[in-house]
C-alpha cells in the first residue's frame, strides 16, 4: 500500500473520531461544563496548582505522555507485521487510550486534582487505594530509573544531540521568565526559543559531546546521575519555571518533527523511493513471544498506556483551568500520540528500506535492510536497536526533502532525547505527589515536604539504576515486566472509569467497561505467561515482583466487580 495514502486515511480518521466520538464522550457521557469548579483555580498555589492556557497545558500533557513510548513500542512490535501494529494503534488510541486519558483527567479534576490512586478509594474502596499505590509506585520507580538510562544511551549513540538537549534547559528557564515575569507574547517568545534550539542542533553537528568515564563510572552511569539531579530540581521548582516552558518548546519541536516526517513520506513516495518493506503479518518471528497478547503489551504509548493516567491525574489535572479544555488536552493529545506512533510505523516499516548500514559496514536497502535489522526478536529488542530503527528510517525520509541526512539524524536524536527528558521530569514530579499523598494518609509529616519527598524519589530510583553496577543499567533487571505492569495500570484505571460512569446510570459505562475487560484479559494473560518464563529461567526477583502484580490485578478486578454490582446509579451519592 502507498505509504502516504495510508497516512492520509488514518489522519482523516483521527480528525473525524475526535469531532464525533470524542465530543460525544465529553458532552453526553461526562457532561463537561465551562461553569464547573476546577482545582487549578480553587486551589491555586503557584507551584503545582496553576490555571493554564489550553495550548500550553496541551504541550505539557502531550510531551509528558509521549516520551519514547510511541517510538520504542511500534519499533519492536513491527516484527509481527505492520498491519497488526497499525490496527492496534489506530483502534486502540480512539476507543481505549483516549477514553482512558480523558476519563482519568476529568475524574481527577472533579476530585481536587488527586491522583488515581487516591480517588480509587471513593469509587471502589479504601483497600484498593493501597494496592493502586503499589502498582503506581513500581511503575514510576522503573520509569524514572530506566528513562535516565534511555537518554544516556541516546547521548552515546548520537553525541551530536547532547548540546541541544542540555541547552534546552536554560532556554526553557529564559522562556518561562519572559512569559510569566515580563509578560512577553507567548507566540513570539516561543518561536525565538525554538529557532535558538534548532540553531544549536545544527551547531551540534560540529560539536559532538562524548562523556568520558569518571572515577570508574562508565558514561551511561555519569549521565544517569546528572539526569536524576536534573529531575530533582525539575520536580521541586514551580511548574511555570521549567516544566511548562520546556514542554511548550517540545510541543513545537514535535509539530516540526511531524511536519518533516509527513513531508518526508510525501516526497519520498512521490519519487518512488518509499515502499513498505516490512511484512504485512508475521505471526511467528524467530524467538518472539506470541502476538496475542504481547502486541497489546509491547505497543502501549500510541494505543493505550497506564502511565498516561498518572499524568492526567498528576500534573495535568492541577493545571486545566476549564473543564471544556479537558477534551482537547486529554482526548486530543492521545490521538496526536497515535498519529506519532503511525509515523513511527512508517519509518520502521518503509523508511528503513531506503538505506541501512549493517554491523558489517555493508549498505543495504529494501527488504534486505529490514530483515537484517529485524532478523529475530533478540536482535530487535534492545533499547538502542529500537531507537536506531526509528532514527534511521525517519532520517532517510526527511532527507528526501533536501535536508542533509546528518542534520536529520540530529533532529530526530534531539527529538527522542527531549521527549524522554519530559517523561523523566514529569514522572519524578508525579512520584513526589504519590509519596506526599501516602505520607498524608499515614500522617508521616516529614514526607509531605516536597524537597524531602523528591529526594526520596530520586534516591530510590538511583538505587535501582545502580543496583547491578556503576553503568546505571540496574533498571533493566525489572524492564522485562514493565510493559505488563504499565498495561495493568491502564486496565485498573479503566475499571475506575467504568465504576465512575456506572454511578451515573444508563449504559454509558460500556465506553469504559469494554476496554477495561479487554485490557484486563490481555494484561493478566501476559503477566501469567511472563510468570511462567521467569520461573523457567529462575529469575526470582522478576518472579516475585510480577507475582505481586498478578495478585493486585486479580484483587482489584474482583473488588471492582463487587462494587460494580452494588454501586449506586442515576446520580445517587455523587457530589461532583
* 434 vs 519 pLDDT, higher one: 519
Q: Is the pLDDT of residue 414 over 70?
A: yes
Query: What confidence tens digit (pLDDT) does each residue in 26-72 have?
Result: 999 999 999 999 999 999 988 889 998 888 888 888 888 887 778 88
Sequence-distant (6+) residues with CB within 8 A of 111 are 118, 119, 122, 576
Phi-psi region of 216 (alpha: psi -120 to 50; beta: other; left: phi over 0): left
pTM of this prediction exceeds 0.95: no
With contact defined as beta carbons under 8 Å apart, do 244 and 56 qualify? yes
How far is it, in rounded angstroms, from Cα 26 to Cα 338? 19
CB atoms within 10 A of CB 402: 8
Give Rg (Cα) of the chain. Answer: 22
Q: Cell digits for 2?
A: 502507498
Tell me the C-alpha distance between 471 and 332, whole Å. 39
Across the chain, mean pLDDT equals 88
Question: What does the pLDDT look like over 258-278, one tens digit per residue?
Answer: 899 999 999 988 877 788 999
Higher pLDDT, 209 or 16: 16
For 107-131, how does the pLDDT look when each residue is reduced to its tens digit (9 = 90+)? Answer: 999 999 988 888 888 888 888 888 8
- The candidate with the shortest Cα–Cα distance to 70, out of 372, 356, 335, is 335
Residues paired with residue 356 on neighbouring β-strands, in sequence order: 364
Distance of CA 178 to the CA centre of its chain: 29
pLDDT of 205 over the 50 cut: yes
- Concatenating the DSSP letter of every residue in 526-559 gives HHHHHHHHHHHTT-HHHHHHHHHHHHHHHHHHHH
Nearest to 331 by CA among 98, 21, 108: 98
pLDDT band, residue 576 (cuts 50/70/90): very low
pLDDT at 378: 67
Q: What's the rounded Cα separation, in Å, for the pair 288 and 302?
A: 21
Work out the widest C-alpha separation in the chain, in whole angstroms. Answer: 68
Contact status, residue 139 vs residue 301, Cβ threshold 8 Å? no
The three three-digit cell numbers of residue 288, written as one number:
518472539
pLDDT at 363 exceeding the cut of 90: no
Mean pLDDT of 184-197: 87
Amino acid at each position: 500500500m502507498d505509504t502516504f495514502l495510508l497516512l492520509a486515511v488514518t489522519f482523516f480518521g483521527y480528525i473525524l473520531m475526535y469531532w464525533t466520538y470524542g465530543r460525544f464522550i465529553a458532552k453526553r457521557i461526562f457532561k463537561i461544563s465551562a461553569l464547573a469548579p476546577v482545582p487549578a483555580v480553587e486551589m491555586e498555589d503557584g507551584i503545582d496548582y496553576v490555571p493554564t492556557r489550553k495550548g500550553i497545558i496541551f504541550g505539557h500533557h502531550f510531551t509528558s505522555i509521549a516520551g519514547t513510548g510511541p517510538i520504542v513500542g511500534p519499533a519492536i512490535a513491527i516484527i509481527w507485521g505492520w498491519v497488526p501494529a497499525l490496527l492496534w494503534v489506530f483502534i486502540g488510541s480512539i476507543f481505549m487510550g483516549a477514553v482512558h486519558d480523558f476519563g482519568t483527567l476529568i475524574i481527577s479534576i472533579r476530585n481536587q486534582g488527586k491522583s488515581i490512586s487516591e480517588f480509587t478509594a471513593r469509587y471502589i474502596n479504601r483497600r484498593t487505594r493501597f494496592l493502586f499505590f503499589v502498582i503506581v509506585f513500581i511503575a514510576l520507580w522503573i520509569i524514572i530509573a530506566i528513562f535516565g538510562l534511555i537518554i544516556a544511551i541516546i547521548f552515546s549513540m548520537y553525541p551530536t544531540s547532547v548540546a541541544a538537549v542540555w541547552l534546552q534547559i536554560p532556554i526553557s528557564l529564559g522562556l518561562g521568565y519572559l512569559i510569566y515575569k515580563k509578560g512577553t507574547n507567548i507566540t513570539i517568545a516561543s518561536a525565538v526559543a525554538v529557532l535558538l534550539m534548532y540553531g544549536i542542533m545544527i551547531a551540534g553537528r560540529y560539536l559532538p559531546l562524548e562523556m568520558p568515564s569518571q572515577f570508574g563510572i562508565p558514561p551511561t552511569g555519569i549521565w544517569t546521575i546528572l539526569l536524576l539531579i536534573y529531575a530533582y530540581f525539575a520536580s521541586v521548582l514551580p511548574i511555570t519555571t521549567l516544566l511548562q516552558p520546556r514542554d511548550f518548546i517540545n510541543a513545537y519541536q514535535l509539530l516540526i518533527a511531524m511536519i518533516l516526517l509527513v513531508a518526508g513520506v510525501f516526497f519520498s513516495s512521490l519519487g518512488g523511493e518509499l515502499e513498505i518493506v516490512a511484512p504485512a503479518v508475521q505471526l511467528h518471528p524467530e524467538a518472539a513471544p506470541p502476538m496475542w497478547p504481547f502486541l497489546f503489551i509491547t505497543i502501549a504509548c500510541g494505543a493505550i498506556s497506564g502511565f498516561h493516567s498518572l499524568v492526567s491525574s498528576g500534573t495535568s489535572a492541577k493545571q486545566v483551568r476549564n473543564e471544556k479544555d479537558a477534551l482537547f488536552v486529554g482526548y486530543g493529545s492521545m490521538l496526536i500520540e497515535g498519529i506519532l506512533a503511525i509515523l513511527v510505523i512508517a519509518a520502521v516499516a518503509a523508511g528503513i528500506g531506503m538505506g541501512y548500514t549493517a554491523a558489517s559496514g555493508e549498505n543495504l536497502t529494501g527488504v534486505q535492510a529490514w530483515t537484517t535489522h529485524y532478523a529475530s526478536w533478540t536482535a530487535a529488542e534492545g533499547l538502542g536497536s529500537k531507537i536506531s530503527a526509528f532514527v534511521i528510517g525517519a532520517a532517510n525520509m526527511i532527507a528526501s526533502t533536501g535536508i542533509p541526512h546528518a542534520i536529520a539524524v540530529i533532529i530526530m536524536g534531539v527529538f527522542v532525547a527531549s521527549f524522554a527528558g519530559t517523561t523523566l521530569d514529569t514522572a519524578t514530579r508525579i512520584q513526589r505527589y504519590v509519596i506526599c499523598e501516602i505520607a498524608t494518609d499515614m500522617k508521616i509529616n516529614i514526607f509531605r515536604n516536597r524537597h524531602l519527598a523528591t529526594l526520596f524519589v530520586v534516591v530510590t530510583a538511583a538505587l535501582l539504576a545502580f543496583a547491578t553496577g556503576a553503568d546505571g543499567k540496574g533498571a533493566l533487571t525489572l524492564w522485562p515486566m514493565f510493559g505488563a505492569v504499565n498495561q495493568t495500570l491502564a486496565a485498573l484505571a479503566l475499571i475506575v472509569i467504568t465504576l465512575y460512569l456506572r454511578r451515573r446510570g444508563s449504559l454509558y459505562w460500556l465506553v469504559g467497561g469494554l476496554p477495561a475487560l479487554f485490557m484486563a484479559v490481555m494484561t493478566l494473560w501476559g503477566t501469567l505467561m511472563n510468570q511462567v518464563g521467569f520461573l523457567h529461567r529462575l529469575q526470582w526477583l522478576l518472579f516475585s515482583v510480577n507475582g505481586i502484580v498478578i495478585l493486585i490485578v486479580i484483587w482489584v478486578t474482583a473488588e471492582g466487580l463487587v462494587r460494580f454490582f452494588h454501586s449506586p446509579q442515576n446520580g445517587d451519592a455523587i457530589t461532583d
